[in-house]
Amino acid sequence: MTNDMPYESELRAALEAAELTRPAILDAYANFQPIPDAAASISLPVDRDTQDVLLRHLSAAFPGDAFCAEEATPALEQIPGPGSGRPRLWIIDPIDGTRGFAMKNGEFSVMIGLVDQGHVAVGVVMEPVRRRLTYATRGGGCWRRDGNGAAERCRVSTTDQLPGAVLTVSRSSTGRKRSPHVEALGDVRLLPAYSAGLKLAHVARGEADLYLNVYPNFNDWDICAGQVLVEEAGGKVCGLTGQEIHYGQGRGQQRDGLLATNGRIHQAALAALRSPPAAGIRAS
């Protein structure tokens, strides 16, 4: 973290909150019996316990803010939520990629985002098992800290051609037959992972060139923290027709998909996706 960074106190609180959850997450993970065929919708006690730690810390630090989070917990019910009229909204996914936790492959993350006046201002994605931390503030750049190493600036990749680009996708999208959406992108290489937070961090870190989400319904907490990482690392994020992503509307649901890229191949990817694939096919 640098001096005079925009949203410095908010970022500090978010990083503190994420770090507070790490010991209990790792303890629960170490004692968890793997579920090889875990469902994508699985929810575990660690989701709810982690969320309450995050909410208690952040709501105490910023009592004037509103909060939106994935799990229905007592702590969430006691604080203002979306639609409360407050200009700032924290959006939290306590364990993004619970399926990766349940399978014990390490592919899950803690995601904390802050939306201020409709724009994502702070994003933190922590990978507890892999000891990777990626974070950003609007106007303050994107940073990475791995293990006990020092913070380093994140930059998106310099790939400027769609053919051969690395597309990070869900592991469920890596079967023998690619979805029409992936096929539309042409000759891309796949980097599979659970957790949208990990995938957006992959793009921000330059480990992947693009991420595509075409689920018909997903939620604010799936992408909020990761959006600002990509944009502050030099990339672009939008809906599947190029539209701006909005947060805190309705029940926090997203219906227009998401494309995150390194910026250089953004228009080529959007153009390739303009021919709509068959309904019901998903690539996330």
Is pLDDT at 24 greater than 90 in this prediction?
Answer: yes
Which amino acid appears at position 122 of this protein? V
Mean pLDDT of 42-49: 95
Do both 145 and 175 map to the same domain? no
Q: Give the tens place of pLDDT for each residue, 124-165.
A: 999 999 999 999 999 999 999 999 999 999 999 999 999 999
CATH number, position 98? 3.30.540.10
Instruction: Out of 128, 153, 178, pick the residue that ends a domain.
Output: 153
Instruction: Out of 153, 185, 202, pick the residue that ends a domain.
Output: 153
Is residue 40 situated within a structural domain?
yes
The answer to whether 251 and 83 are in contact (CB under 8 A) is no
Distance CA(83)–CA(186), nearest Å, equals: 41
Look at 180 and 193; give whichever has higher pLDDT: 193
The pLDDT value recorded for residue 11 is: 98
CATH number, position 239? 3.40.190.80
pTM of the model: 0.91
Is pLDDT at 279 greater than 60 in this prediction?
Answer: no
